[in-house]
Chains A and B, each alone.
Chain A
Amino acid sequence: AQKITQTQPGMFVQEKEAVTLDCTYDTSDPSYGLFWYKQPSSGEMIFLIYQGSYDQQNATEGRYSLNFQKARKSANLVISASQLGDSAMYFCAMRETHSGTYKYIFGTGTRLKVLA
């Protein structure tokens, strides 16, 4: 069964430093998508970045990049130059598409605290 694992319940990072949030996944589907979402304390879910299973290059969006290692089934989020506003919960998610189904699986999240 498909699964997303985020092993870091909480992380601290100093302002302006880079931080990596880990995500591993398990699927037998050759076609899938990997996502990262941010959930601030206000509760909304904010899309950050996407990586398709067939994409050759790692995805980047501003200060966010996704370190995609397909053989290891990992999709780590890298945030460069951390800001205080980056303090939030971060969720890794996977979408599988097979046999006409389109289901998303979310990890349990990592709470990031940026220190001034």
Chain B
Amino acid sequence: NAGVTQTPKFQVLKTGQSMTLQCAQDMNHEYMSWYRQDPGMGLRLIHYSVGAGITDQGEVPNGYNVSRSTTEDFPLRLLSAAPSQTSVYFCASSYGPTQETQYFGPGTRLLVL
């Protein structure tokens, strides 16, 4: 198993550009989620999904879109990048929404100029 994979590892964007952060898992996990990590603020939940076709907002959803067309993939779209979206983004997954262990991807470092 590859676990949770994220691409790219690092990305530089200009303000106003759009892009998609990719997240995939090969563990047949139902629950997947996206977080952003900013210095001094811990991780904050952006969006999550409890299964294919089902998504919901987290704590900081503005400026981000998600969709879940397959169990394996959960891409995060930045519609119009802003400097405030400079952060490290983590994707995570678990068998179900109430499972004990979330498995995290390695993270994507995003810089918006």
Contact = CB atoms under 8 A, between A and B. Distances in A.
Interface residues of B, number: 26
Contacts of B2: none
Contact of B106 (A33, A43, A105, A108): A43
Nearest to A42: B106
Contacts of B45: 103-105
A43 B107 contact: yes
Interface string A22-56: 00000000000101000000011111001000000
B16 interface: no
B74 interface: no
Contact of A105 (B33, B59, B90, B101): B59
Contact of B97 (A46, A91, A93, A97): A97
B56 A101 contact: yes
Interface of A: 4, 33, 35, 43-47, 50, 91, 93, 95, 97, 101-109
Interface of B: 31, 33, 35, 40-45, 48, 50, 56, 58-59, 88, 90, 92, 97-98, 100-104, 106-107
